[in-house]
Amino acid sequence: MDDVRPHENFSEEDRASSTEAADRRGADATQADARVAAAAADDAPPARGKARAFIALFLVLGALGAWGVTTWLQNRFMQSTDDAFIDGHISQVSPQIGGRVTAILVQDNAMVTAGQELLRIDPRDYQVRLEQAQAQADQAAAELTQARAALAVRVTDLGQAEANIREAQATLQQAQQDLARYTAINPRAITRQTIDSATAAQRTGQARLDASRQAAAGMRAQIQVAQAQIASATAALRTAQANVDNAKLQLSYTRVDAPAPGRITRRTVEVGNYINPGQALLAVVQPGFWVTANFKETQLTHMCPRQPVTIVIDAFPDANLTGHVDSLQTGTGAIFATLPTENATGNYVKVVQRLPVKILFDGDAADHLLLAPGMSVRPRVNVASCGK
């Protein structure tokens, strides 16, 4: 019986120990289950976070790829450069005569019209020259009048000489007739003295006729001289009149006018300065600008006139300006330099050349901006096809 129910001999203390141990094992099992559950809970969020990060990365890469493809498609036919500037017509104002400046009638950066007076040069010296030239012209005119009068006198003298010739011819003819009549008469019926007188009269008449003819020839020569004097006086009058016109022209140059409408720039003259012909005094920047873009030669493969251009001016970055290619210069900038390169001497180093391209603005949007030659520009040319 003792062997069959051995547990009945356990004491109360043993039972309490067994119960406590069982409780501890249950508590340990519960804690283990809690730790497993916590670990499982900790493992789940990282897995979901990685999935979301992968999806986000995929979307970003896709967006970047789409943007890159779109940008490439848009820019593969675009050529741009930072070596571009506003350009325009600039008229240098220089005097054509020397003198002292007495007045300046325009201010810096003022707008002027074509023909507007800009400054004045002291006119007194040129006024004196004009008066001298006018006096010389009057003298030449008087000499011409005198030469014409002399010609009239010579013509009158020639008429008188011709009348003398006719008179001498008549006298000679009468003497010849008398001599012929006397010689035809019987010598006994007329005296020798009468015949000698008739012979002398005939010879005298012949001499007078010869003298009259010589006088007439002299008058004709004097007429030619008078005509030459008239020609000389006429030429002198023309020269004097040309001198008068030149003096008037020189006097008009004392007024310096604007050659074209535009804005005054780069004024280097002041009142009282003595200026020389050809000296740069100021410049007039005419309205109507364009862009000169110096593209590399490798960018010009598909560039041609009439291609559209988007233009960004550094001074006005928010202005939406468009234009088109007008023309390409026939020659690089280096070939027109003051000292062009000589590639046939020394060691040759290849350098990419640049070619100026003229770009015109479309519309009148650029006219409302305060543009000036030399301002920096960034043009972008669409070289997909030539404009029509």
Contact assessment for residue 160 and residue 179, using Cβ atoms and an 8 Å cutoff = no
Contact assessment for residue 332 and residue 352, using Cβ atoms and an 8 Å cutoff = no
35 belongs to a structural domain: yes
- What local confidence, expressed as pLDDT, does residue 128 receive? 96
| CATH code for the domain in which residue 111 is found | 2.40.50.100
Secondary structure (3-state) at 388: coil
205 belongs to a structural domain: yes
Secondary structure (3-state) at 308: strand
Q: Are residues 271 and 235 in the same domain?
A: no
| CATH code for the domain in which residue 330 is found | 2.40.30.170
159 belongs to a structural domain: yes
Q: Are residues 103 and 147 in the same domain?
A: no
Q: How far apart are CA 297 and CA 316, in angstroms?
A: 28
Q: How far apart are CA 92 and CA 285, in angstroms?
A: 9
Place of tokens 């094992």: 25
Q: Are residues 151 and 220 in the same domain?
A: yes
Cβ-proximal residues to 199 (8 Å cutoff; 6+ apart), any chain: 179
| Backbone φ/ψ region at 254: left (φ over 0), alpha (ψ -120 to 50), beta | alpha
Which neighbouring-strand residues pair with 361? 323
Q: Are residues 129 and 231 in the same domain?
A: yes
Q: Are residues 134 and 248 in the same domain?
A: yes
Q: Are residues 31 and 143 in the same domain?
A: no
218 belongs to a structural domain: yes
Q: Are residues 209 and 169 in the same domain?
A: yes
Q: Are residues 169 and 247 in the same domain?
A: yes
| CATH code for the domain in which residue 224 is found | 1.10.287
Secondary structure (3-state) at 321: strand
Q: Give one DSSP letter per residue of 38-98, joined into a string.
A: HHHHHHHHHHHHHHHHHHHHHHHHHHHHHHHHHHHHHHTTEEE-S-EEEE--EEEE--SS-
Q: How far apart are CA 11 and CA 237, in angstroms?
A: 167
DSSP H or E segment with residue 280? none
- What local confidence, expressed as pLDDT, does residue 172 receive? 77
Listed residue (54, 244, 207) closest to 132, CA to CA: 244
Instruction: Give the number of domains in the chain.
Output: 4
Q: Are residues 140 and 244 in the same domain?
A: yes
Q: Are residues 130 and 233 in the same domain?
A: yes
- What local confidence, expressed as pLDDT, does residue 33 receive? 56
Residue 143: count other Cβ atoms within 10 Å of its Cβ: 18
Q: Are residues 46 and 63 in the same domain?
A: yes
- What local confidence, expressed as pLDDT, does residue 29 receive? 54
Helix 192-252 to helix 124-184 angle (10° resolution) is 170
Print the domain residue range for 210: 124-252
Q: Are residues 308 and 375 in the same domain?
A: yes
- What local confidence, expressed as pLDDT, does residue 200 receive? 82
- What local confidence, expressed as pLDDT, does residue 360 receive? 96
- What local confidence, expressed as pLDDT, does residue 99 receive? 95
- What local confidence, expressed as pLDDT, does residue 15 receive? 53
DSSP H or E segment with residue 166? helix 124-184
Catalogue the E-assigned strands of the chain: 78-80, 84-87, 90-93, 99-104, 111-112, 117-121, 255-257, 262-265, 274-275, 282-285, 290-296, 308-313, 316-328, 354-361, 377-382
- What local confidence, expressed as pLDDT, does residue 307 receive? 93
pLDDT along the chain (388 residues), means of 10: 41 52 56 53 57 78 74 74 95 95 94 95 96 95 92 87 83 76 69 75 82 85 90 94 96 96 94 95 95 94 93 93 94 82 76 93 92 95 77
